[in-house]
A and B are shown apart, each in its own frame.
Chain A
């Protein structure tokens, strides 16, 4: 169990269940935390559980299923106000007892809730096209990642959802609770807590015993895909392969490259495509260090789409060929360090960070990390830039009326 002590006004109890990412169980892992946090033995309906949460000053359980390289991570985080502020000594015991029931080995799931969740998930899929940006993202991931698991919807496909039965989820749950990797993090004013009691309620850590694998396919001929729909803008998503991963020497250089390309308002994409050319309102890049890819996204004026695509492609080529400046590097470093420090003031970020560091054995201190960032050279970033390989361009667009 990881215990973080600080003076936030809330206390978090977090559980992380980890397994190898597998298409077969994607829908189970997406559905399970929703069902686990909807009812318990003492609170067998949603209404009863929600009423109990209200009694606990609006405590809430946030659930999430996500991918980290070849792993699937399912998290349940209970956040509750510090009992000292509301002067309710029994608050944490009540919250813990409730959270204990969420992960009880012999728990049962409410079939009505399962059917509701299944229906809502199906509706979410059936309405995906209404949400243009979410639809464009899904389509881009499909075309960019292809046969890789990252292309597979995190919720499973519509077919998976329709086929899912409660018995399947229950059987998966039993296996997960007894066998799977589990991390526990407690974060807040923990000096007042009985850690032994919490361990008895939430169980013990089961450390990662699965290889952590960061790979992706080789680059290919650039793939261009365009879909048309009724909309005002053109949503552009571009994928580049950047074979630098979280454990690599050039990792911090790649983060700085992302910052300089499209990570903040002083980035080249923002300055040139938005401010100089006036082609869009939003434009940004993002680096996935588990998959070794850099992605660009923007909502573009549809009448200037071709010009915008050429400009963005040329901008990246120029970055690769001519490199960055010392000034760009020093500003990006200041911004990266600022982001790092700011994240340490967020309770939820600290909770997740503690889990990731423990699981992947990252032990560097903040000072050491800052030192590593400061040591990145112009050559490091330019070397990373040269490794960018253009791979996929997806556009979802409306009609051009100009």
Chain B
């Protein structure tokens, strides 16, 4: 077992590396503390649609990762979700673009829960009948999102930005694509991506370290082999956006606009890639965050409301910046915003604001460490990015204002796409 101590945050991490390639990272919290959070994740998500394994190529429908996440809870003796509940544990699962996570929160029966979580992930019980019965449930989940105008707009903007990259489809897929998912698709995926060498287990909170160590020693003896894992292939994506602008009249209460900038992914080390994400996030927040002059101006002129937001997406081979606004004065908003983002905004990237935002970034990390669930999720996310949550502070120290200014130059008219849903 490897022990690490991060003095700045008073956080300990214990790492167990199994011969089969699986890793277990324990982030204990001393008494008085009641909860234990356990998360098992694999680096397989909605973007892993096309893959190669043992010299064979496979293509899968959109939404396969999310569908498999639902079906992993199927067990020969019933539903695992209910079994966790009957043990007094809160279980859940999540599919993102790049990973799938299975988790539970416990205050009792931690080791029984851990054993059952592994039994569940080790027992793919996926057959034609239970795949077909899951389709109407997932269809209702997708319809729930389709009834949300903001999700619809987001999906539409992604389709405008990307020609081929799977990020242009919703994580859950479409009502049509899920019809093509079969038990064979899911079983193939399971054996390609859910191999033990792809699995990370993070345990945070109240932990009996000795019990965990003993458990995984026995688990390793049961499953000593390291299996071959699949390699995802991504389609070649043109630099230009697919659609530059789209205006649609809608029966809505206020006009809504999304502006997206498609960034060109770079070949970088994991550390440099994380720094790139930080730089882009700092840049867009200095320009349009709640303490910026532009945000103050847009509010004062009645051009935006509380739903205004900016964000960045850094996924595998797809990176973009997205802005969302609701306004009754959309023409003026669009004029000001395009000029600001493409020309005049650079003057707002100032030293004092930059230094303030570094403090915010640091603060956000501390807030995340306050919550075991959030801490464990972020820990897993950075692990799959081949880095560590606790190294983020060091990376932050390496970011300069000049990096931020350089990143502004990536916002270009040629890689911008605009979507306007105009109030009819």
Q: Which residues of A contact B (CB under 8 A)?
A: 6-10, 45-47, 50-51, 53-59, 79, 81-82, 85-86, 112, 116, 119-120, 123-124, 126-133, 230-233, 264-266, 270-271, 274-275, 278-282, 299-301, 331, 334-335, 337-339, 341-342, 344-347, 398
Which residue of chain A has its CB nearest to the CB of B253? A127
A81 near B363: Cβ-Cβ < 8 Å: yes
Which residue of chain B has its CB nearest to the CB of A282? B144
Q: Is B300 an interface residue (CB 8 A)?
A: yes
Known contacts A6-B32, A85-B366: does B306 contact A338 (CB below 8 Å)?
A: no
Known contacts A54-B359, A342-B90: does B144 contact A299 (CB below 8 Å)?
A: yes
Q: Could you jot down 19 A-B contacts, CB within 8 Å?
A: A10-B370, A54-B359, A54-B360, A58-B361, A59-B363, A86-B362, A232-B143, A232-B144, A264-B90, A265-B79, A270-B82, A274-B137, A278-B134, A335-B85, A335-B90, A337-B108, A339-B90, A342-B107, A345-B33
Complex partner residue of A337 from B85, B107, B253, B364, CB under 8 angstroms = B107
Q: Is B209 an interface residue (CB 8 A)?
A: no
B252 near A127: Cβ-Cβ < 8 Å: yes
Which residue of chain A has its CB nearest to the CB of B370? A9
Bound CA span A331–B251, Å: 47
For the complex with contacts A58-B367, A129-B253, 12 further pairs of A-B residues with Cβ separation under 8 Å are A9-B9, A82-B366, A85-B366, A119-B305, A123-B328, A131-B149, A233-B143, A270-B82, A275-B79, A282-B144, A341-B107, A345-B35
B88 near A338: Cβ-Cβ < 8 Å: yes
Q: Return chain A residues, CB-CB under 8 Å to B299.
A: 46, 116
A132 near B253: Cβ-Cβ < 8 Å: no
Q: Is B141 an interface residue (CB 8 A)?
A: yes
Known contacts A10-B367, A127-B254: does B359 contact A58 (CB below 8 Å)?
A: yes
Q: Which residues of B contact A (CB under 8 A)?
A: 8-10, 30, 32-35, 79, 81-82, 84-91, 105-108, 133-134, 136-141, 143-144, 146-149, 205, 251-254, 289-293, 295-296, 299-300, 302, 305-306, 326, 328, 353, 356-357, 359-364, 366-367, 369-372
Which residue of chain A has its CB nearest to the CB of B357? A54
Chain A-chain B contacts (Cβ-Cβ < 8 Å), number: 185
B290 near A46: Cβ-Cβ < 8 Å: yes
A120 near B305: Cβ-Cβ < 8 Å: yes
Q: Return chain A residues, CB-CB under 8 Å to B144.
A: 232-233, 281-282, 299
Complex partner residue of A51 from B326, B356, B371, B372, CB under 8 angstroms = B356
A265 near B84: Cβ-Cβ < 8 Å: yes
Which residue of chain B has its CB nearest to the CB of A275? B79
Which residue of chain B has its CB nearest to the CB of A122? B305
Closest-CB distance, A88 to chain B (whole angstroms): 9
B8 near A85: Cβ-Cβ < 8 Å: yes
Complex partner residue of A334 from B87, B147, B363, B364, CB under 8 angstroms = B87
Which residue of chain B has its CB nearest to the CB of A300? B140
B9 near A85: Cβ-Cβ < 8 Å: yes
A271 near B82: Cβ-Cβ < 8 Å: yes
A338 near B291: Cβ-Cβ < 8 Å: no
Q: Return chain B residues, CB-CB under 8 Å to A344.
A: 34
Which residue of chain B has its CB nearest to the CB of A339? B90
Bound CA span A270–B84, Å: 14
B141 near A281: Cβ-Cβ < 8 Å: yes
Complex partner residue of A123 from B251, B326, B362, B371, CB under 8 angstroms = B326
A132 near B85: Cβ-Cβ < 8 Å: no
Known contacts A58-B359, A266-B86, A338-B108: does B291 contact A81 (CB below 8 Å)?
A: no
A278 near B88: Cβ-Cβ < 8 Å: no
Bound CA span A51–B32, Å: 36
Known contacts A8-B370, A233-B143, A281-B140: does B254 contact A337 (CB below 8 Å)?
A: no
Q: Return chain B residues, CB-CB under 8 Å to A56.
A: 359, 363
Bound CA span A7–B289, Å: 31
B85 near A126: Cβ-Cβ < 8 Å: no
Complex partner residue of A57 from B134, B295, B328, B366, CB under 8 angstroms = B366
B147 near A132: Cβ-Cβ < 8 Å: yes
Complex partner residue of A128 from B149, B253, B290, CB under 8 angstroms = B253
Closest-CB distance, B348 to chain A (whole angstroms): 12
A347 near B82: Cβ-Cβ < 8 Å: no
Most chain A Cβ neighbours within 10 Å, of B35, B85, B89, B90? B85
Known contacts A51-B291, A278-B136: does B356 contact A341 (CB below 8 Å)?
A: no
A341 near B34: Cβ-Cβ < 8 Å: yes
Q: Return chain B residues, CB-CB under 8 Å to A271.
A: 79, 82
Q: Return chain A residues, CB-CB under 8 Å to B306.
A: 120, 124
Q: Return chain B residues, CB-CB under 8 Å to A129.
A: 253
Which residue of chain A has its CB nearest to the CB of B84? A265
Bound CA span A339–B370, Å: 18
Known contacts A233-B144, A275-B79: does B253 contact A130 (CB below 8 Å)?
A: yes
Bound CA span A231–B252, Å: 13
A265 near B88: Cβ-Cβ < 8 Å: no
B291 near A278: Cβ-Cβ < 8 Å: no
Bound CA span A266–B87, Å: 10
Bound CA span A280–B139, Å: 9
Bound CA span A100–B133, Å: 58
Known contacts A57-B360, A266-B86: does B302 contact A119 (CB below 8 Å)?
A: yes
Bound CA span A339–B35, Å: 10
Complex partner residue of A264 from B79, B85, B326, B362, CB under 8 angstroms = B85
Closest-CB distance, A133 to chain B (whole angstroms): 8
B293 near A47: Cβ-Cβ < 8 Å: yes
Q: Return chain B residues, CB-CB under 8 Å to A130.
A: 149, 252-254
A345 near B205: Cβ-Cβ < 8 Å: yes
B366 near A9: Cβ-Cβ < 8 Å: yes
Which residue of chain A has its CB nearest to the CB of B81? A265
Bound CA span A338–B289, Å: 39
Which residue of chain B has its CB nearest to the CB of A345? B35
